[in-house]
Amino acid sequence: MKSKTPEELRLMREAGRIVALVHQKMAEIIQPGITTKALDDVARQIILEAGATPSFLNYQGFPASICASVNDVVIHGIPDHRVLNEGDMISIDVGACYKGYHGDSAWTYAVGKVSREVQTLMETAKQALFQGLSKARAGARLTDISHAIGTYLEENNCSTPEQYTGHGIGSHLHEKPAVFNYGLQGRGPLLKKGMTIAVEPMVIAGKRQVDTLQDGWTVVTRDHSLAAHYEHTIVITDDGYEILTQL
């Protein structure tokens, strides 16, 4: 994994800003009664108007600009005419490509008033992301991040689907290395200033086993327990990290 040049980072900051604009809008408009297709339309419009392209649209055949994953859907939910109901939770994953460079970020939103169970899972998953990020700095090893996420999830009786990971990111949406959400610390590449990665714990309230539906994309929990997903694209700095996918 090579460090990005200052010019590359400038483009990734802009891609990240556009992704963050989409999330800002999602937070505003997600409410009971809206369809996931409507969310996708709004997201695509924001990305295009900002002079970028949706990273996910047509990626390996994916048919939309966002992944919209409701309740027991972990990741890769396809937007459709499903209407969101009070009490649902929805994970929105979105990527934008600006002048050849990508930003990628996921966030889970409550739909109206949600149960204590949903609130707790969302909080745990968000904390898992920031526990992982707290280990990101020049001189650390990649799996220091993985280990921090994994131990935090264990302590909070949650699980993660082991086959899905974060990733390097840059001129490709998914670059090496994989950023696992569990495992031993002190392994993998040495982190250096200017490296860019997407850290993204997928967090399940129940068991870690998942299945892919017949559409070939939608990943659901086998035990139908709830799942949440938080992701930021970051750049490694000397004393920590900078989040690229925020305003």
**144 versus 231: smaller Cβ distance to Mg ion:** 231
Residue of 165, 159, 134 whose CA lies nearest to 236? 134
Task: Determine if 20 is a binding residue for Mg ion (CB under 5 A).
Answer: no
Task: Determine if 72 is a binding residue for Mg ion (CB under 5 A).
Answer: no
- The window from 39-47, 110-118, 178-186, 223-231 that contacts Mg ion (CB under 5 A) reads 223-231
The 8-class DSSP code of residue 30 comes to -
- The window from 18-26, 107-115, 127-135, 231-239 that contacts Mg ion (CB under 5 A) reads 231-239
Residue 36 phi, psi (nearest 5) = -70, -30
Residue of 153, 161, 173, 197 whose CA lies nearest to 75? 161
Among 12, 106, 111, 210, binds Mg ion (CB under 5 A): 106
- Which secondary structure element, helix H or strand E, spans residue 155, and what is its range? helix 142-155
Site track 147-186 with Mg ion (rule: CB under 5 A), x = hit: ----------------------------------------
Task: Determine if 217 is a binding residue for Mg ion (CB under 5 A).
Answer: no
Considering the complex, what minimum distance in angstroms separates the CB of residue 8 from Mg ion? 18
Cα–Cα–Cα angle for 228, 168, 60, nearest 5°? 75
228: left (phi over 0), alpha (psi -120 to 50) or beta: beta
The residues binding Mg ion (CB under 5 A) are 93, 104, 106, 198, 231
